[in-house]
Amino acid sequence: MFDGVWLWGGGVVACLTLIWLFRSGRWSELKRPERFNLWLGTAVALMLVWRMKAGVYPGLDLHLLGAMVANLLFGPQLAMGLLGVVLIGVGLATGMDWQSLALNWLFMAALPVAIAEGIRRFAAWRMPRHFFVYVFVVAFFGSAATVVLQGLAAAMLLAGAGVYSMDFLSANYLPYCLLLGFSEAWLSGAVITVMVIYRPEWVASFDDRLYLKNK
């Protein structure tokens, strides 16, 4: 669906992002068996979630992302790597066009995780450190915003590459992204709520001293 310029450009940006990811990520965490098992288990669970998708038109598949959950559990670098593993696993199972792997990873893994991390940081900067802010603003509404913004970015990519017109995407793709955002919000909010209550040590971005103590 994309010509060589877009594929090569995506490959260059993906390589630069991967260099940053591997150099700055806390990959040593995965040496601990409990963190590695959680990371791998989350990847397997998201592979199943990604397989439950609805195809609107070619290249316009809709499915839950799990970007906010992965980011809150592991931080942005490990989350991008995790979603990369998910993308490859789903590609092996469904016969993905591997020439577009770099673009797919950028727009389905790296970008949504970056958006999720930006929302988390903005909430930490501008809002009180409170349990309900973390759950409802970051995990719930942040997840919905991540999906909607990712869908908008994907639409801009497709329109810029001449695959579909923006008018067509506005009528046949973007409205479904809004609906998908609500589903992502409910799922992510529920998962994070359960984890911070019963397994707060699993959630790297959650700290009892900040969000619960003296509240």
Average pLDDT over residues 42-63: 86
pLDDT at 56: 65
Largest distance between two CA atoms of the chain: 57
- One of 3.30.160.40, 1.10.1760.20, 3.40.1190.20, 1.10.10.60 is the CATH number of 4-211, namely 1.10.1760.20
More confident residue, 6 or 36: 36
Q: pLDDT tens, 93-115? A: 887 778 889 999 999 999 999 99
What single-letter DSSP state applies at residue 48? H
Q: pLDDT tens, 144-199? A: 999 999 999 999 999 998 889 999 999 889 999 999 999 999 999 999 999 998 99
| Cβ neighbours of 162 (radius 10 Å) | 11
Contact 49, 63 (CB under 8 A): yes
pLDDT at 215: 56
Instruction: Please report, rounded to a whole number, the percentage of residues in the chain having pLDDT higher than 90.
Output: 73
Q: Tokens for 70?
A: 């992965």
Coil, helix or strand for 61?
Answer: strand
Residue extents of the structural domains in the chain: 4-211
Which amino acid is located at 46 in the chain? L
Average pLDDT over residues 122-128: 91
CA distance 208 to 200: 8
